Every structure is written in C-alpha cells, then in structure tokens.
C-alpha cells in the first residue's frame, strides 16, 4: 500500500494500480465484483447524504473535510450508482456540490449534477436542490443564461408541490436566476407573479424582499433598497428559527468608487455566493446588504453599525464563512473611507478564515480587496501581486465572472498607478470575456470606465463608442446612477 495522507485524523492509503487491477480481476472471476461495488456505492452515497451541509438543519455550516478526503471513492460510488440506483447518485451529488464549489472544481460538480439529473427523471424534492446547485455552477463558469431554463424547471416543480414552503421557494428561485441572467424586461412581472406563492410563507418572503432590494440597487436606488431590506428583516423576525435553509445568499457584487474623476467599478463579492441558510444567518446577510445600500447612499455610519451587527450574529453562531464575508465587507467600507490600515486588517482576517475553511473563491475575494487597499496605500508592487494571485485562483477554477471582476480590480490598481494604457487593456480583456450578459450592471460601468480611459489616452472615437455602449446598458436596466454618471462624464469631456 502507498500512503495517500498520513494526517492523524484522516490517514488514508491507496493500492498501487497494479495491485488494484489484480484485485478487481480476482473479484470479477469470483463473481463478487458487482455485490462489492454495490456495497461500496451504497456506503459512500449514504455517508455523503449524512454529511450533507444543507441537509435541513437551520444553522448551515461548511462542507465536511470528508468530501475532499474521500473524493475518489465518492466518484467511484456515484459512477456505480448511476448504473443501478441513479436517485442515490443524485442525492450524493447534491450532498457534495458545495465541497466541489469550495475547492474550485466547478466543471466536475456541474458534470456530476447534470449526469445524475439526466439519469433520474422521477421528480422529487431533491431535484430542486440539484437544479439550483447546477445553476450556481453554470453562473460560476459564465453561463448565466443557463439559469433561465433551470429556473423555469424549478418553478414547474414548485407549482406541483403541495408544501407551501417548497412552492414559495421554487417561485423565488426562478426570480433570482432571472435577475442573474439580466432579464430586465420581465423581472418586475416575475417578482409580482411570485407573490401569489409567497403569501403566508414569511421565510421565503424575506428572501424575496431581499432580492427586491438587490434589483433596486442594480438600478442605482439605495433608498428604495433600504425599504425592501427593512421589510425583509421584518419577515425574518416572524420566521421560525428552526426553518430549514431557505435564504440563497446573493449580493450586488460591485460597488462604484471615484478616483481622479474616473468612475471605478470595484469587485467586492460574487453575486451568487452558493450558500442557502436559515433565519439566524439570513438576518446577518441582510444586514450586510443594508450596509452596502447605506454605503451606496453615503451613510457610512449606518453602514458600520449594520456590519457590526452582522459580525456579532455570525460570531455568535460560529459561522466562519459568514464572519469572513462580513469582515471583507467591513474592509471595503474602511477602504472607501480611506482608513487603509483598518481595511488591510479586515481583509487579512477574512482571508485567514477563508483559507482555513478552506474556500478558494472566498480567499480570492479577500485577496482582491487586500490588493485594492494596498494600492491605495501606495504599495503598488504588493497590490499587483495580491490582485494577480486572486485572478489566477479564479481563472484556474474556471470562474469566468470572478476572473472578470478580478480584472476590474487590476484595472483600478493600474489607474492608481497612473498606467492608463494598462488599465485600458485590463478593461478590454474583461469585456471580451463575455463572462456576464451584455445588460449586466457591471458591464455598463465597465463601458463607462473604458470611455473615460480612452479619453485619457486620446482615443476619442473609441471613447464615444464606449459611452454609447454604457448608456445602452443603463437604459435597459433603468440604472439612474449610471445614466447620470454617463451624462456627467460626457459633459466634462
């Protein structure tokens, strides 16, 4: 036997390939091969279900290290289950998907979920979870438009479900995936139509009103967003604490800053984080969105209070992923206020927590924020190093929207450095990635930044084209802040 790992708690050994082949051949000859494979498959699929981090407990933790240690055994088990018991393979894939996501194995997770869904035509409650997990991976790899058919499938299953919580949940998830796909022409109608399924289901109504706040923020309206968030917190207060996970964690992803009259889109967090949490954790995440909306409206003291409250909740629950999320948001607040030492400290704490979980995407988010704070402090070489590492981490995992956002922050660092030509190249590259739909909010702000940068580099024809593109995106969304910024920038030329 060869040692796979000798760590005390997780010591594992593996057979040499020649020995493995010989043993398999002997089992086959004895006629025991299929029964042994079935026992192996059943044990690992059952164990995965038992360790499912989203198995219904109201307090949602991170995936067990077991999934990483036993990854190869689980692959074999699911492959065997697909042939005889595909519904068990689907349960195992749904149980493992967050482990694949945390380790940046998006393509692998997507493959297993797609295969298990195709082999399990009989609809069950686990199908909605599998479809949502599939949508998260599709978003990660830059195919947000795939969320639309997945959202419709989720809604169709929900319409046939007699359980009011699951029916409401399905209606809400369709709206969420439509927002991610930038379906601005229909999002208002979908939000209104979903209300019929949300009556008397406070938990999902809380998630739905939180989405209403994100739609308002997408349109540059923080005051309306804060009204939605107040309603969301009210619904959460009325929700039973033991409600199974119902709140999909999502964010606006980008803030907009200013530097020497340039509008800088700043990538702060993933739009669809990939966690679904219960009422207590949901309250803390809503408070983080309250902080974001308050910061967008210039109410920095309110933002700080909201983040302090969120941090206290996450810490009291022992939720390290939530704590790291709130610390990163605290870092961005300090960065926006020019409190750079405090910002750097928050980003370091967030990065340490995420590395310990481990959460590869989250680690990249914290590093990218740290890079911006170091750049603002004048440590440009250090900043480029952190930003480059964040971009490489996201690129290796196939996270195209994440890579696009990391390039945004690299462009901001180059602008702070005074290297406008390099910033132009970064923005042109991220727009060429087509990692998000053309009418996504971030695309409008990137076109506007590109227009201003081209003006700085005396490319007036290119600047005019970028101004037109920005205006088109903001018109489609109804983004008032963006439209005002385009007009102000154009008037200042």
Q: Write out the E strands in 319-361.
A: none
Q: In the numeric block, which tokens belong to residue 187?
A: 């999002």
Residue 317 predicted with pLDDT over 70: yes
The CA-based angle 267-270-271, given to 5 degrees, is: 105
- Residue 28 binned pLDDT confidence (cut-offs 50, 70, 90): low
Closest CA to 491 of 452, 465, 440: 452
**What percent of the chain clears pLDDT 70, i.e. is strictly above it?**
93
What does the pLDDT read at residue 490? 86
Peptide bond into 358 cis (omega under 30): yes
Closest CA to 71 of 37, 38, 112, 19: 112
Which residues are within 8 A (CB) of 31 and not within 5 positions of it... i.e. 6 or more apart? none
What does the pLDDT read at residue 3? 44
What does the pLDDT read at residue 16? 57
Task: Report in angstroms the alpha-carbon separations of 283 from 40, 233, 264, 301.
Answer: 41, 7, 30, 19
Please, are residues 418 and 451 in contact by the beta-carbon 8 Å criterion?
no
**What percent of the chain clears pLDDT 90, i.e. is strictly above it?**
83
DSSP-assigned letter for residue 200: T
What does the pLDDT read at residue 363? 96
The mean per-residue pLDDT over the stretch 458-483 comes to 96
The mean per-residue pLDDT over the stretch 91-114 comes to 95
Q: Which of 13-22, 260-269, 357-366, 408-417 has the lowest average pLDDT?
A: 13-22
Element (H, E) at 129: helix 125-140
What does the pLDDT read at residue 34? 54
pLDDT tens-digit readout, 41-74 = 999 999 999 999 988 788 999 999 999 999 999 9
Q: Which of 13-17, 47-51, 211-215, 443-447 has the lowest average pLDDT?
A: 13-17
Residue 235 predicted with pLDDT over 80: yes
The mean per-residue pLDDT over the stretch 456-483 comes to 95
The mean per-residue pLDDT over the stretch 444-454 comes to 97
Q: Which of 16-25, 54-63, 401-410 has the lowest average pLDDT?
A: 16-25
Task: Report in angstroms the alpha-carbon separations of 27 from 30, 36, 85, 493.
Answer: 5, 8, 21, 78
What does the pLDDT read at residue 37? 73
What does the pLDDT read at residue 22? 55
Residue 17 predicted with pLDDT over 70: no
Which residues are within 8 A (CB) of 241 and not within 5 positions of it... i.e. 6 or more apart? 58, 278, 279, 280
Residue 6 predicted with pLDDT over 50: no
The mean per-residue pLDDT over the stretch 256-263 comes to 93
Residue 436 predicted with pLDDT over 50: yes
The mean per-residue pLDDT over the stretch 286-304 comes to 98
3-state secondary structure of 276: strand
Residue 32 predicted with pLDDT over 90: no
- Residue 403 binned pLDDT confidence (cut-offs 50, 70, 90): very high
The mean per-residue pLDDT over the stretch 313-331 comes to 97
Q: Is the dihedral of CA 452, 457, 459, 460 positive or negative?
A: positive
Q: In the numeric block, which tokens belong to residue 246?
A: 């119902």
Within 10 angstroms of residue 414's Cβ, the number of other Cβ atoms is 24
Residue 35 predicted with pLDDT over 80: no
Please give the mean pLDDT across all residues of the chain: 91
What does the pLDDT read at residue 206? 97
Task: Report in angstroms the alpha-carbon separations of 365 from 55, 270, 303, 467.
Answer: 27, 8, 20, 29
Alpha-carbon span 114 to 43, nearest angstrom = 22
Tracing tokens 């998630």 back to the chain, one arrives at 207
The CA-based angle 225-227-230, given to 5 degrees, is: 110
The mean per-residue pLDDT over the stretch 164-184 comes to 94
Q: Which of 22-26, 287-291, 413-417 has the lowest average pLDDT?
A: 22-26
């Amino acid at each position: 036997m060869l040692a796979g790992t000798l760590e005390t708690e997780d010591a594992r050994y593996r057979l040499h390939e020649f020995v493995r082949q010989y043993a398999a051949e002997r089992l086959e000859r004895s006629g025991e091969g299929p029964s042994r494979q079935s026992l192996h498959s059943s044990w690992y699929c059952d164990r995965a279900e038992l360790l499912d981090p989203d198995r219904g407990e109201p307090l949602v933790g991170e995936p067990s290290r077991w999934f990483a240690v036993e990854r190869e055994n689980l692959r074999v088990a699911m492959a065997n289950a697909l042939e005889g018991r595909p519904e068990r393979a689907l349960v195992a894939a749904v149980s493992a998907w967050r482990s694949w996501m945390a380790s940046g194995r998006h393509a692998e997770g997507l493959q297993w979920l797609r295969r298990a869904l195709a082999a399990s035509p009989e609809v069950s409650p686990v199908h909605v979870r599998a479809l949502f997990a599939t949508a998260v991976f599709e978003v990660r790899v830059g195919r947000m438009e795939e969320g639309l058919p997945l959202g419709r499938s989720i809604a169709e299953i929900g319409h046939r479900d007699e359980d009011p919580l699951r029916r409401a949940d399905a209606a809400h998830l369709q709206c969420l995936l439509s927002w991610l796909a930038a379906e601005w022409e229909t999002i208002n109608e979908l939000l209104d139509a979903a209300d019929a399924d949300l009556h008397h289901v406070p938990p999902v109504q809380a998630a739905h009103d939180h989405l209403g706040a994100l739609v308002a923020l997408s349109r540059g309206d923080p005051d309306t967003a804060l009204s939605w968030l107040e309603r969301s917190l009210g619904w959460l207060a009325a929700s039973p604490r033991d409600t199974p996970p119902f709140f999909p964690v999502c964010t606006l992803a980008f803030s907009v800053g200013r530097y020497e009259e340039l509008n800088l889109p700043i990538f702060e967090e993933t739009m669809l984080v990939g966690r679904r949490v219960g009422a207590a954790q949901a309250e803390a995440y809503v408070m983080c969105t309250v902080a974001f909306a308050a910061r967008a409206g210039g109410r920095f003291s309110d933002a700080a209070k909201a983040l302090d409250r969120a941090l206290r909740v996450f810490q009291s629950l022992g939720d390290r992923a939530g704590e790291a999320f709130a610390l990163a948001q605290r870092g961005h607040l300090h960065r926006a206020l020019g409190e750079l030492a405090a910002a750097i400290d928050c980003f370091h704490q967030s990065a340490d927590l995420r590395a310990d979980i481990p959460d590869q995407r989250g680690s990249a988010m914290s590093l990218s924020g740290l890079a911006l704070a170091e750049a603002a402090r004048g440590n440009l070489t250090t900043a480029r190093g952190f930003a480059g590492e964040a971009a490489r981490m996201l690129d290796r995992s196939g996270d195209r929207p994440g890579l696009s956002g990391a390039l945004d922050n690299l462009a901001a660092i180059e602008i702070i450095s005074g290297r406008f030509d390099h910033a132009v190249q970064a923005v042109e590259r991220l727009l060429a990635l087509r990692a998000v739909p053309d009418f996504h909010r971030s695309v409008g702000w990137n076109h506007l930044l590109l227009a201003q940068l081209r003006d700085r580099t005396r490319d007036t024809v290119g600047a005019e084209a970028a101004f037109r593109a920005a205006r088109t995106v903001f018109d489609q969304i109804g983004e008032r802040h963006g439209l005002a910024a385009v007009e102000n920038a154009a008037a200042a030329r």
